[in-house]
Structure formats: structure tokens, C-alpha cells
Chains A and B, each alone.
Chain A
Amino acid sequence: MLVFFLPVFLVFLMVGLPVFFALLFAPGILLWLNGQERDIALLYRNVYNGMDSFPLMALPFFMLAGELMNRGGITTRLVEFSQALMGHLRGGLAHVNILSSMLFAGLSGSAVADTSALGSTLIPAMEKNGYSRRFAAAVTAASSVIGPIIPPSGIMIIYAYVMGESVAALFLAGIVPGVLVGLGLMMVVRLLADRYDLPKAERIVTTNQTISPLEDRISFLLLRINFAGVLLIVYTLAKSIVSAATGAEIAISNWVPFIVLLPLAHVVLLRMRKTVSADFRVICKKAVAPLQTPIIILGGILIGVFTPTEASAIAVAYALLISFFVLKTLKLSDLPAILTKSALASSTVLLLVGAAVAFKTVVSLSHAPEQLAALILGLSDEPLILLFLINILLFVVGMFLDAGPAIIILGPILGPIFMDLGVHPVHFAIIMSVNLTVGLATPPMGLVLFVASSVSGERVETIARAILPFLAVEIFVIFLITYVPAISLAIPKLTGFVH
């Protein structure tokens, strides 16, 4: 009897019952028909237990941090910085759009926030520069899916929690795939630039840039520390290769080389400084404080100073510090609205996660995974072919459902099957996440398309057609990620988060 709960669930989901209720209704009704009243009590208890979680707290915190950054005027700085780097290329502003998305992805974990923040500044700018509005909207929508792939990422926190994986490992595993999607999109822009003769743009739009003395000093210091940090990583890597150590784990606790490398970093930066204009320098300096966020988050998690949840709280504190004292763009009276918005957005996700945990217990009670596994393995027992089929399934699901709910529903069902086939859990998590996020930009139900449409005023159908070349390359990257596990696993392995 209980076996039917999956089909029942799907039917109710498709006719439009909210996911939260469908997750509880389908198992609930079958338990009730079965006379298993006591298990319904268990269902309720698991909704509560599912939400009562410390790791899950990273979700509202990262949403809050992203919201603070966004309101604090950080978006404009990222766009200016990207333009200074890539604006002079052919199809300049399209490249800027993609690069800004990649940078923004390091601050926020949501594709929708990315689309609305970058779309509202970049789509009008691109139109003025001679792009068609639908092309501008399509680039914005296509590049915003990088948001949840590059850490921090809301859906990866959810996946890690529901599936019992390490958030840190998933975050690290998302870096290369996210960058790959970005590079792939830039290649499409390059090809289209030849075909449609896309314009170049100025690298620096507003001249005579200014920066407050305090921020100037902070940027000065942060730049040197970060650069020395990068040098230290290179040094440690080189040393471990030279000594041919078997396990190349980076130990960043070495202070002596760091102190030696700091002046070196200073000298190199001083040399680089001479080669660029004053405005370029200021634009770069103004991007330092915002872009420190991902470094704090990932650095802190990597060194093991704090857990992902604590890292997310620190990201909030950092965003507050920056926007109140350095940028001075936020007022205390703005806070209630920002907090309310983040609480509102995260509450629905938290309830969903609770319902998913309850759903998951019934999934295992019902023996549905075994039967589904038998069905799937009946198609083929070759993991590569099955992964291909899963890619298609996830892609289709992603067309109709947001990535978060889709992961909550499908993770517990599909995950164990592929783990048994020998697919690495972290690799599978990345396959699922990337697949489902790309689904956000596909018609007919792609959430990002709707946001891009409302930001640009262009019709969803028109954007959906213009986005096709970008989708093609994103699908190509999905296959690349699926069949080359090293893309996802290299960084977590190198840093010792995955063995």
C-alpha cells in the first residue's frame, strides 16, 4: 500500500498542491488508510526534528548576508569592477554581466537575487550600449544560475543537510563547476560577438572615482594580506610537489613564510600599480571589501576556524560592518525590512526541509527506493548511461520545480541508488545541484526567466528563445561535470575535505 505514496505525491504535486503540503499529504493519507496512526505522529515529529537543526541555520544567515550586500550598494561596485576588467572586449557588457554574476555568486547563494540585482543595473546599460533587450535579459538569466553553484549556496546547504553530507565539501566542490559555467557562457558571447557584431564598451564609465580614506586603508591592507595568502598557497603547493608528499594537504597554519611573503606581495602590488590608471585602481580598491566576503567564508571553513553556520553569521556581521561603517549605505531603520524579507524567504524553505525529513522517513519505511532502484537498474547497470538518464530526468524536473524543493524531494530517492553504483556522494550532489539550477533558466517554469522578464519588461517567451545558445553550453558543462568527477572532486580532495 505504502508503495503508492510516490505516485500519489506526484499527482498532487502536478495538480498544484504546494510542495510542503504534498510532502505531508501523500504519506499521511496512505498511513491513515493503512491504519498506522502512530506513524503519522512520527511524521509530525520528524517535521519538527527536521527543522530543529544547527547546520540548517546557515540558510537564513546567508540569505540575510546576501540581502544586506545587495541593499548596501555592493552590486554597483562589482559591476564597475567587472567592467574595468572585461569591458573592452567585444561583447564587453555581456562579459561584464557574466563576470559580475560569478563575483556576486561568492556573496549570495541564490540565482533569483542575482538576476534581480544585476538585471536592474545591467539590462538598461546593455540596451543603451546597443544590445537588444532580449539578449541582455537572456545573458542575465543564463549567468545568474552560477549563483547557487559557486559557494555560498542555499541549495547545497539543503542538500548537505537532507543527505548528511559535509557542507564544506559541497561548497568547495562547487567552485570549479561554477567557474566552468561562467567560462562557457563567455565563450558563447565571444562566438555571438562575431556573428552579431556585439559592441565593445568603455572600461571605465565614471571617471574621477573617489574612495573614502578609511576604505582606502582597509583595501590596502586586505589586498596585501590576501595576495600574500595566495602566494603562500602556491608556495605550499610547490613545496608539497617538490617533496613529492603522498597526501598533498595544504596546511595554511605556517606563519613564518607568510610574514616573509607579505612584503613580497607589497612589492609586486606596487609594481602592478604603475601599469594602470588612477580610476582603474580606485575601482579595484572599491571591490576589495565586498569580495572579501567569500574569502572569509571559505577561508574560515577551510582552516577549520568555524563551522559553515558560524561562517554565515560572520558573513552577516561583515556585511553589516561594511555597509554601516565603510560604505555608509545602510541606516539602522533599514534593518527591520531586510531582516523580515530574509526571515520570510527562509521560513518557507525551512518548513519544506522539515517536511522533506518527514517524507524521507516514510520513503525508507515504504521500500520505494529499493523498487525504484530495481527499476532504474533494470534499464542498465552501466553508471555512465544511468547518469545520462538522470541528467535528463533532473533537467526535466528543473523545468517545473525550483532547485531547492527538487533537491529535497529527489535527493533521498536518487542519492542512495547512485552511491551504490559507486558514484561519489559529493560528485552526485554537484551533478544534482548544477542540473537543477540550470533548470531555473529553462522554460516553461524557470523562476529566473520570470524574474528576468519582470526586471527587463521583455516577454518570458522571447527571453526563452534568446537564452537557447547559452543553455546549450550549460548543458554541455553539465555533461562535462557528470563524466569528469575530478572537476567537482579535485578541490575538496586537495584540501582534505573528501577522501
Chain B
Amino acid sequence: MLQVLRAISLVNSAILALGRHIAWMALGLMVLVILLQVVFRYVFNNALAWPDEAARFLMLWMTGLIAPSAFRWGGFVAIDMLPLALPRMAGLVLTIILLLLSLSVLAMGLQHGYNHTMGFGGNFDSSSLRLPLDLIGLESLKVKLRYMYGSLLISIILLLLVNVELVLRTAANLISPDASLPPTDAPSDLQRAD
């Protein structure tokens, strides 16, 4: 089991690190896009249509790609008094049960997310987002809503991966308390005191 955990942990570390990099850039771009909107409205007297949607697009992807890291590092808010108050074994068993419940939510989400993204609605064009291919001589392409919807689907897939890893981690802890578990690369200021 430890080997499976190590493998998943390695994969998660790599994917989530990439996700975090995209997320911080998305946040930076969001600020730029909104500032551009303000500047265009007041300085050039020209209210642009696309910044609103572009910024939302970026925010959705930012959230989707970085939230799994937060989940992995214990950043999802919970009232964790009971699991901490219970004796070690019972606490770990409860934690596993809770993780399995979240897993069921995510599995359900995966199914509906797929239908939402790949289904009928995702096929519509976004109202203002275009790939400006006309700049390089091609026809400009409307962005399908699917590419926005996909952010939540991808997020759920990543959350699922993290969830499986967390289940394995807790199980490994349960079986042998001093098994050496692979690192989660949580930054030091995010590691919980408890």
C-alpha cells in the first residue's frame, strides 16, 4: 500500500505544483484585465466587453487548479474537534470515514461535471471571449463555454486524486504509526500546529 501511496503522492506533487503555477499567473492576469477595463473606460472612453468574462474565466481556473493543493494541506475548513478529541485509533477511523464521504461527493461531482462540461450546454459559444486568431490572418474563434465549465471538472478530478492520497495516508498511519510517509510539500507557514 505504501508503494501505491508513494506513486500517487509523487503524481499529485507534480500536477498540483503545475496547477499552483498556473493559478498565481491567473490571479496576476485577473488584476491586469480588470485594471485594463478601468483604464479603457475612463481614459479611452471605451467600455470593453470582454474583460468581465475573461477575468471570471481566469478566476474559475485559478480556483479549480489551486484548491486541490489547499485540500491536500488541510486548508478545507472543518470543525475538527471530534476527530482530534477521540483516541488516536478512533480518530483515524473517523477521519477515514469522513474522507470516504467526501470521496462519494466528488465521485458524484465527477459524473455530473462530465455531463455539464461535455453535454449540450458546454457547446454554446461564450458571449464575449474570442481567440483573436484574426491577428495572425485566421478567422477569430469564439471560445466555447465548455472551456470555462471544464475548470470545475478538472478541479474535481484533482480533488479526487488528493482524496485518494489522503485516504491512503490515513490508512498507512492507522496500520503503522511511524511509517515514513511521502512529503506533501506544504509550505511551512501552512502546516497546522495540531
Which of B2-10, B103-111, B132-140, B169-177 binds A? B103-111
Give the residue of B38, B56, B62, B104 whose beta carbon is less than 8 angstroms from that of A25. B104
Say yes or no for B193: interface residue by CB 8 A criterion: yes
In the bound complex, do residue A60 and residue B78 qualify as a contact, i.e. CB atoms below 8 Å apart?
no
Say yes or no for A306: interface residue by CB 8 A criterion: yes
Give the residue of A18, A61, A306, A346 whose beta carbon is less than 8 angstroms from that of B78. A18
CA of A401 to CA of B70, assembled, Å: 18
Interface centre among B63, B80, B82 (most CB of A within 10 A): B63
Give the residue of B20, B67, B81 whose beta carbon is less than 8 angstroms from that of A445. B81
Interface size on B, residues (CB 8 A): 54
Q: Please report the number of residue pairs spanning A and B whose Cβ atoms sit closer than 8 angstroms.
A: 164
Say yes or no for A380: interface residue by CB 8 A criterion: no
In the bound complex, do residue B56 and residue A52 qualify as a contact, i.e. CB atoms below 8 Å apart?
yes
In the bound complex, do residue B38 and residue A314 qualify as a contact, i.e. CB atoms below 8 Å apart?
yes
In the bound complex, do residue A21 and residue B23 qualify as a contact, i.e. CB atoms below 8 Å apart?
no
CA of A317 to CA of B75, assembled, Å: 27
Answer whether A54 and B55 are a contact pair too, CB < 8 Å, given A44-B112, A350-B63, A351-B63.
yes
Which of A122-130, A138-146, A334-342 binds B? A334-342
Which of A9-17, A385-393, A486-494 binds B? A9-17
SS of B interface (majority): helix
Q: Chain B residues near A16 (CB, 8 Å)?
A: 78-83, 94-95, 98
In the bound complex, do residue B108 and residue A60 qualify as a contact, i.e. CB atoms below 8 Å apart?
no
In the bound complex, do residue B70 and residue A344 qualify as a contact, i.e. CB atoms below 8 Å apart?
yes
Answer whether A40 and B108 are a contact pair too, CB < 8 Å, given A15-B82, A16-B80, A60-B27.
yes
In the bound complex, do residue B78 and residue A339 qualify as a contact, i.e. CB atoms below 8 Å apart?
no
In the bound complex, do residue A348 and residue B67 qualify as a contact, i.e. CB atoms below 8 Å apart?
yes
Answer whether A52 and B101 are a contact pair too, CB < 8 Å, given A17-B78, A60-B27, A445-B79.
no
- Interface readout for B52-86 with A: 1 if CB under 8 Å, 0 if not? 10011001101100110110000111111111000
Interface size on A, residues (CB 8 A): 62
CA of A45 to CA of B148, assembled, Å: 12
In the bound complex, do residue A41 and residue B62 qualify as a contact, i.e. CB atoms below 8 Å apart?
no
Of all chain A residues, the one with the shortest Cβ separation from B104 is A25
Give the residue of A17, A32, A343, A345 whose beta carbon is less than 8 angstroms from that of B26. A343
- Interface readout for B84-99 with A: 1 if CB under 8 Å, 0 if not? 0000000000110010
Point out residues on A near B: beta carbons under 8 Å. Answer: 12-21, 24-25, 28, 32, 40-41, 43-45, 47-48, 51-54, 56-57, 60-61, 64, 305-306, 309-310, 313-314, 316-317, 335-336, 339-340, 342-348, 350-352, 354, 400-402, 404-405, 444-445, 450, 454
Q: Could you name 25 residue pairs across A and B whose Cβ atoms are closer than 8 Å?
A: A12-B101, A14-B82, A16-B83, A16-B95, A18-B102, A20-B76, A21-B102, A21-B105, A24-B109, A25-B104, A53-B56, A54-B55, A57-B59, A60-B27, A309-B34, A313-B30, A313-B31, A339-B28, A340-B23, A342-B27, A344-B75, A345-B70, A350-B67, A354-B152, A402-B77
Point out residues on B near A: beta carbons under 8 Å. Answer: 20-21, 23-28, 30-31, 34-35, 37-38, 42, 52, 55-56, 59-60, 62-63, 66-67, 69-70, 75-83, 94-95, 98, 101-102, 104-105, 108-109, 112-113, 115-116, 148-149, 152, 155, 190, 193
